[in-house]
Amino acid sequence: MIDFTDRVAFITGGASGAGFGQATVFGRAGARIAIADVRRDSLDDAVARLREAGIDAWGVPLDVTDRNAYARAADDVEDHFGDPVTLLFNTAGVNGFGSIETMTYADFDWMLGVNFGGVVNGMVTFVPRMIAAGRGGHVTSVASVGGFEGGRMVGPYSAAKAAVISLMESYAQALPEHGIGVTVLCPASIRSGIAEAHETRPETGAESGVLVDDGFVASLREVYSHGMDPEHLAMHLKRAIEAGELYAIPYPEVREQLERTFGNILDAVPDIDEIAPHGAQQRLEALEAFRAGSRRRVEAETRVP
């Protein structure tokens, strides 16, 4: 079981919502907390609240889509705490609702840029540093239940979250050998300010299919007001990390939905005796041979002389 005491945690989107809940829960568990957020006023307020709770906290202004800024933020955090980051939480996220056929290039660039690109930037920035530090640790990325199934009104968002899930599954095959655990958190509704996510969107002047009228935003606020408390969500995440679990999905109400979704996928796969059984076996053997060869190559390249 991982001990969070004195570890340095880097949490994107940490000034509010799920990120602030994580900062609170893992800070109380003894971690030193660096929260990153694009909203400077909210960042300063969040740091003050964490410090009032007795948590060693520090704030870093950061647009997670800016790779150069991300590298500078990583350096600044290491300099401030005098230790490497060994707990990474890719939590920053945005959403924009609108029927998929009205979504524009700008809408896709924004939502995929933050929700998936921001996670990529976090992983590529910190994972090599964590491996080099040799202290183990844990990486968590926030995806969504929506990443398991597309939806007409959340097309770009669901696509980005599906990519996050797949990305973390890939890292989960590589990082444990370095002593680094991997968890992907897939929430449903969270009590947060994501209904106003469009307010952090850069002004580009481009056309958009995202609905931002007052009536629609008010209805979203009502939906999210009934979401899970961010601290409770973070406590579920902490338990999953301590248990070494890849998936954290603490929403029993989505079980039927997921069973239906994955049932439909499995129903599309025929039994081996229905379609060219000999060809299927040959394909399977070729794939296993490729995987075995790939594993041997990786082991040879990473073997310490």
Contact 88, 10 (CB under 8 A): yes
Would you tell me how many other CB atoms lie within 10 Å of the CB of residue 202?
A: 12
Alpha carbons 33 and 53: distance in angstroms, whole number = 12
Burial category of 89 from C-beta neighbours within 10 Å (exposed 0-12, middle 13-18, buried 19 and up) = buried
Domain ranges of the chain: 8-267, 270-305
Domain 8-267 indexed as CATH 3.40.50.720: yes
Q: Which residues are catalytic?
A: 157
Cα separation values, 223 from 35, 63, 188, 197, Å:
26, 27, 11, 15
The secondary structure of 70-132 as a DSSP string is HHHHHHHHHHHHSS-EEEEEE---------GGG--HHHHHHHHIIIIIHHHHHHHHHHHHHHH
What is the pTM assigned to this prediction? 0.93
pLDDT in 10s for each residue of the chain, 305 residues? 899 999 999 999 999 999 999 999 999 999 999 999 999 999 999 999 999 999 999 999 999 999 999 999 999 999 999 999 999 999 999 999 999 999 999 999 999 999 999 999 999 999 999 999 999 999 999 999 999 999 999 999 999 999 999 999 999 999 999 999 999 999 999 988 777 788 788 888 889 999 888 888 888 788 878 899 999 999 999 999 999 999 999 999 999 999 999 999 999 998 876 666 567 778 778 888 888 888 888 888 766 44
The residue to which tokens 């410090």 are assigned: 51
Cα separation values, 84 from 28, 31, 275, Å:
19, 12, 53
